[in-house]
Amino acid sequence: MMFWRRLLENKLAVAGGVIVSVLLAASLLAPFIAPYDPAQIHVDRVLVPPCKEHPLGTDQLGRDVLSRIIWGGRISLLVGFVAVGIATAIGVVLGAVAGYYGGWVDGLIMRLVDVMLCFPAFFLILAVVALLEPSIWNIMVVIGLTSWMGVARLVRAEFLSLKERDFVLAARSLGASPARIIFVHILPNAMGPVFVSAILGIGSAILTESALSFLGIGVQPPTPSWGNMLTAGKDHLEIAYWLSLFPGLAILLTVLGYNLLGEGIRDALDPRLRD
């Protein structure tokens, strides 16, 4: 109850939650709320400015921009959730093992983390994706495999603090296996920071996918993605501002919403801020 009270008192966190909820609802209900087929071409409606029939206008092929943004939200959110899920799973396992066992195991895993952090993340993703066939699945896997280091460090720090607590010593004295101690006794108590990191990571993953699609090595047309919509819009920026403005606003609001929600949850979970 204390957590929810503190979260609801944070107006920015509530605003982020509303934004995230609206975007999730719109993406899930895309087949029912999108006014047009996002891939349907209308040669007689090319570059129509925002109007009653097309609230966000049409693109260079006469496709409805609002419908494409709604369907593109599905792609962006899928990439965000799956990529963050992969990164969190890897980071939790490696961080838990490093923090629990310590010694050379900890040293080896942390040196791997240091090596991964030496590479600029976006350029590493760019290089790997460029070598593979452009597809949404490759993007999700590559983003996940190159963004687990922060989670690993968080979990390791939590394990170093928690593994000497009385409840862990009691479980060890009762003969509990290391796997049971790690995943049943310690990990549930270390998931608060991981949850916050995952929420913040969704916004980062969406931004990365949009950048890759903008560069032409992400989600490929005609599948709508906010990034490839920006790419198409830049060629008509002087005569059709809406092609770049509205997908850009969708990316901005999505990343802002997840960041605000993540920051609010972090503040609500921080014991130093509790009454």
190 vs 86, more confident = 86
pLDDT recorded at residue 105: 92
Residue 227 has pLDDT above 90, yes or no: no
Residue 274 has pLDDT above 70, yes or no: no
Distance CA 256, CA 15 (A): 10
Q: How confident is the model at residue 268 (pLDDT cuts 50, 70, 90)?
A: confident
pLDDT recorded at residue 271: 56
Continuous segment of H or E residues that includes residue 191: helix 191-214
* Share above pLDDT 90 across residues of the chain, in percent, rounded to a whole number: 36
The mean pLDDT of 171-186, rounded to a whole number, is: 87
CATH code for position 253: 1.10.3720.10
Which tens digit of pLDDT belongs to each residue from 234-260? 888 888 899 989 999 999 999 999 999
Q: How confident is the model at residue 189 (pLDDT cuts 50, 70, 90)?
A: confident
The residues pairing with 58 across neighbouring beta strands, listed in sequence order, are 64
Q: How confident is the model at residue 192 (pLDDT cuts 50, 70, 90)?
A: confident
Q: How confident is the model at residue 273 (pLDDT cuts 50, 70, 90)?
A: low
Which tens digit of pLDDT belongs to each residue from 4-52? 888 888 899 999 999 999 999 998 899 999 999 988 888 888 888 999 8
The mean pLDDT of 138-161, rounded to a whole number, is: 90
Distance CA 41, CA 64 (A): 9
Tokens of 215: 């560069």
Distance CA 169, CA 164 (A): 7
| pTM score, whole prediction | 0.88
The mean pLDDT of 67-96, rounded to a whole number, is: 92
Query: In 102-185, where does DSSP find H-type helix?
Result: 103-118, 121-131, 136-145, 149-162, 166-173, 178-180
The mean pLDDT of 57-74, rounded to a whole number, is: 91
137 vs 130, more confident = 137
Contacts of 245 (CB under 8 A, 6+ apart): none
Q: Three-state DSSP class for 236?
A: coil
Q: How many domains does the chain have?
A: 1
pLDDT recorded at residue 272: 60
160 vs 119, more confident = 160
Distance CA 90, CA 55 (A): 43
Residue 275 has pLDDT above 60, yes or no: no
The mean pLDDT of 74-96, rounded to a whole number, is: 92
Q: Give the residue numbers spanning the domain of 48.
A: 2-273
